[in-house]
Every structure is written in structure tokens, then in C-alpha cells.
Amino acid sequence: MNDLQLQQAAAFLEQKFGSDWQTLVQSLGTENLRRRVGKELTSFMAFPDRGQGGSNHWRGNCSPEVVSAVLKYVLDTKKYYGKDLSTFTLLDPMSGSGTSHAAAKRYQIRSLLYDLNPTPPYGHGNWNALKNEVDDSADLIFFHPPYHSIIQYSGNMWGKPHPDDLSRCENYADFLEKLNYCIRKLFFALRKDGRLAILVGDIRYRGEFHSIQHDMMRMGNFESFIVKGQFNCVSDTRTYKKPFIPIVTEYLLVYHKQDSLIIPFSWKQENDLLVTQTDIESLTWHHLIRMTMESIGGTTTLADLYQTLQSHPKARKNPHYRERIRATLYEHPDDYKSVSRGCFQLRYVVA
């Protein structure tokens, strides 16, 4: 299908259905991903029509259909295993405009809503996730934290700037530390067989890309990883000259508390692999030579290459490392070329 056909189809649909035509097309286009094998919740969710509940004027607000989908899944799972639902409780510790309230009302279950905002539309206001205890317990905790400072809430969406607002953290590392503290606190508030569902997204902050779902702590048994499509973002109306990959998804991670006293957990640890000091099986002489030449501009003499690599662990355990270096250069003519006697150059331009 070419661009002209797409333009003609769009014009026809707009004439037929008016301003709703895009939502209809987006819903139809994702139908086969959103529903499979008779299930209404798959590893992909998309709600072009956000549905009723909460406020679409509250920036960063997710669709009530997101909360409803995971809530229905947890309820259906408990029903399948014959669990009592009479005291089932949904807890939302950052309830914003009250989206979770609408989902709980749909399924007629008890909901507890907290928010840092002193006067939220629903639930308990002035609840500080970093300082206040979670006095309640729940079967499902739906946690939709701020995505660092992408949207600042206190002093913007409500009231005055608050020092414990996760959307006003000093930097990404500070945000991540506080987010992980909240995750631990919330998981401990789960009842046995409960689920913690965390909705987060990727961000670009001061020119750097951060994937919150990748960096944050994981607690409990990882039950599902759901990709959620984003629609009607503020950035959709802007144009950018700099090449980059637009972020059009969020992620819903579901963790199951199978045991009350034994809780699996993991979190990301960062370190640097110093190629100049490392000898591992996957680092071949070819890799080492190529990366060394990249680091010095792409051109080097054999004498300089010998001197640079003589203290490397691979060279220290190989008394014939010079012969190995020379042989490697000739064994890979697609990457190296001889430009003069004893002088070699990479065949590609070093960035």
C-alpha cells in the first residue's frame, strides 16, 4: 500500500466517521494483538479510546482500561483457583485524578487511594510515599509513579512544589533510589497471593535515554511484562530536527507474591568493562586490535600496536603476541589495510 492509497483511505474514513476515524482505525489495527486465544489481556495493550474514569486533563494520567484489565485478570485468576473475593482490595498509592477508583467501581471491589496531593478527587490526600507507612494491605497494588521529572506534579498540577515529590528528584539516580524504596514498601503491603502492577515508561532526560522498567528493582515472582501503546501525547504535535527514536510505549510489570516470608528480588548494577584490562573468551584478538585502533584514530604502526598491547592480559600470557597481532591484521582484510610498510589502517571511518 503506497502513500497515496493511505491518504485516500484516511480522507474516506474522516468523511464517513468524522474526527473519531483515527481512534477507530487504531482500535482495529491493534485488535489482533490485544486479544488472543480468547483472552482479553495479552502481552500488548492499547486503548486509543481512554474510556471513562479519572481525568484526561491530568497529564500523565493512564486510561482506566489499563487498571481494569489487570484488575480483571487478578480477579479471574483468584476465581479460577477458588479464592475468596469478599475482602478483595485494590490499592493505588499515587492515585492522581482517581483512575483506579473508576476501575474498582466497575468491578464492585474495595479500593484504597492515596496521593501526595492534599486534596485529591478521591481517597486519602497528603500521603507521603517516602515518609508515611502503608497501613493497609491489598490483593492488588497498582503503582503508576511519575516518570522522573518529565511531568512535574506538585507546584504544577496541584499546590506548591513538594520536596518528596518523585517528579522533583534532583537527578535520575535520586529518582531511582526513591522509586525502589517505594517498590519495596508497597510489595511488603501485599497480601499473600497478591500482585504488584507497576506502570512505567522510558524517558530522555538531559540528552540521556533511561528505561525505568529496566533500571528499577524487581520484587516477587515476575508474572508478566506487558507493552502498552501510547496515544495522544503532547509531543505528538511537535517536530524535531535531531534524529532520535520516539518513545511510543509504556510497560506494565506484574509481580506475584507467592510466599509471605521468602521474597525473590533483583536490581540493576552498573559497572564498566575495561577492555584494556580484560581477558575473556568472547574478546578475541581481532576485537581487541580493532577497538584499540578505533581508540587511537584508526591508523597505527605495528611498533605502536605492540607497545600499546604488550601489557594486556592476552599478551602477557602469550609469548608470541606480536606474531598473533600481525597474523590477525592479515586474516581480516575487510577491516584492516596496509597503507605503508609496518603501518595499518581501518577500512572504515572512525566516528
- Write the DSSP symbol of residue 192: E
Asked whether the predicted pLDDT for residue 234 surpasses 70, the reply is: no
β strands within 302-347, DSSP E: 336-340, 343-346
Averaged pLDDT for residues 50-62 = 72
Which of 238, 264, 290 is where one domain is finished? 264
Which of 195, 229, 264 is where one domain is finished? 264
232 and 279 in a single domain? The answer is no
182 and 224 in a single domain? The answer is yes
| Residue 148: predicted pLDDT | 96
Which of 264, 293, 313 is where one domain is finished? 264
Query: Which residue reads 512505567 in cell numbers?
Result: 200
Q: How many domains does the chain have?
A: 2
Cα dihedral 127→132→137→138 (10° resolution): 40
* Residue-averaged pLDDT of the chain: 92
Phi, psi angle pair for 63, to nearest 5°: -65, 140
Asked whether the predicted pLDDT for residue 67 surpasses 70, the reply is: yes
Residue 5 lies in a domain: no
76 and 104 in a single domain? The answer is yes
| Residue 55: predicted pLDDT | 67
Residue 30 lies in a domain: no
Q: Tell me which of 89 and 239 has the higher pLDDT.
A: 89
Residue 15 lies in a domain: no
Residues 6+ apart with CB under 8 A from 307: none
| Residue 17: predicted pLDDT | 84
Residue 220 domain boundaries? 41-264
134 grid coordinates: 502503608
Asked whether the predicted pLDDT for residue 233 surpasses 70, the reply is: no
* Band of pLDDT at residue 16, cut at 50, 70 and 90: confident
Averaged pLDDT for residues 99-109 = 95
226 and 88 in a single domain? The answer is yes
Averaged pLDDT for residues 269-289 = 93
194 and 105 in a single domain? The answer is yes
Specify the pairing of strand 110-113 against strand 89-92.
parallel
Alpha carbon distance 322, 331 (integer Å)? 14
Residue 31 lies in a domain: no
Averaged pLDDT for residues 26-35 = 81
| Residue 217: predicted pLDDT | 97
Averaged pLDDT for residues 221-249 = 84
Residue 101 lies in a domain: yes
Averaged pLDDT for residues 182-201 = 97
| Residue 235: predicted pLDDT | 64
Supply the CATH number for residue 234's domain. Answer: 3.40.50.150
67 and 90 in a single domain? The answer is yes
Alpha carbon distance 213, 142 (integer Å)? 15
